Amino acid sequence: MNSPAPHQGKVFSYKQFPFGDGGQSDKLLIVINEPDSFSDYIFVKTTSQPKCKDTQGCHCSHNLYVLNPGEDLFPKKTWVQFHELYPIPRLAMDAATKYGEAKRIGQLRPQTVAAILNCMKKSEDLSPRELSFLK
């Protein structure tokens, strides 16, 4: 099994993360790509609010990966949601970190990163372009 690239699996706490529908909420985000110096970071969001699947592991038909409480950095059961990917330009993420909107809180274990990426690759809802981020 390959180890994740240096940025893949980094977890950020992002205050009032802006969603496409205009809403905002504090979120934990996971970097799923390894951007070069000109590329955006691509994030997936997480939630601790119960979703339709409760069993740990991959639920690619629902675009979810479920982590049990205490797994990696998450004290509660956590749903990694990949029905939407969130690109954030490197400069915007650097500014968010500099001004306290976002804070890196840690790194997922290589096995967890690989499991999430493998689950995402099985999803029928991700486009070829989105799948290309999962190297």
DSSP for 32-94, written as a single string = -S---TTSPEEEEEEE-S--S--SSEEEGGGTEEEE-TTSTT-SS-EEEEEEEEEEE-HHHHH
> pLDDT value at position 51?
66
Using CB atoms within 10 Å of the CB of residue 3, give its burial: 0 to 12 exposed, 13 to 18 middle, 19+ buried.
exposed
pLDDT tens digit string along 24-50? 889 999 999 988 878 899 999 999 987
Whose CA is closest to 126, among 39, 32, 11, 18? 32
pLDDT at 11 over 60: yes
Pairwise pLDDT comparison (24 vs 82), residue with the higher score? 82
User: What single-letter DSSP state applies at residue 116?
Assistant: H
Mean pLDDT taken over the chain: 89
Mean per-residue pLDDT for 59-67? 94
> pLDDT value at position 1?
46
User: What single-letter DSSP state applies at residue 19?
Assistant: P
Mean per-residue pLDDT for 79-103? 93
The mean-pLDDT minimum among 5-9, 15-19, 59-63, 88-92 falls in 5-9
Contact criterion met (CB below 8 Å) for 55 and 83: no
Q: Could you state, in order of their start, the residue ranges of all structural domains in the chain?
A: 10-131
**Residue labelled with tokens 């996971």:** 30
Domain 10-131 fold: SH3 type barrels. (2.30.30)
Contact criterion met (CB below 8 Å) for 53 and 62: yes
